[in-house]
Amino acid sequence: MVDMAAQIADGMAYIERMNYIHRDLRAANILVAENLVGKIADFGLARLIEDSEYTARQGIWLHKTTFF
């Protein structure tokens, strides 16, 4: 459980570095692979931060990364 929490925290830090705000992080939006690697999903409400302003982005974006 602690490892999964660390993976989620690393994933959210990555999303922040890419200037995105997830806005709907919850258990239902965490995908878990057979090898117990967590992936953050459901970017339908995500927003891209540009020049200190929020810009709505449509669609779903899922970065295929293994978080350690």
Query: What does the pLDDT look like over 34-59, one tens digit per residue?
Result: 999 998 887 666 666 665 554 455 55
Say what the pLDDT of residue 68 is. Answer: 42
Q: Is residue 61 classed as helix, strand or coil in its secondary structure? A: coil
Pairing of strands 20-21, 38-40: unpaired
CATH number of 1-55: 1.10.510.10
Residue 67's pLDDT band (boundaries 50, 70, 90)?
very low
pTM of the model: 0.60
Give the tens place of pLDDT for each residue, 5-22.
Answer: 999 999 999 999 988 888
Domain layout of the chain by residue ranges: 1-55
List residues with catalytic annotation: 24
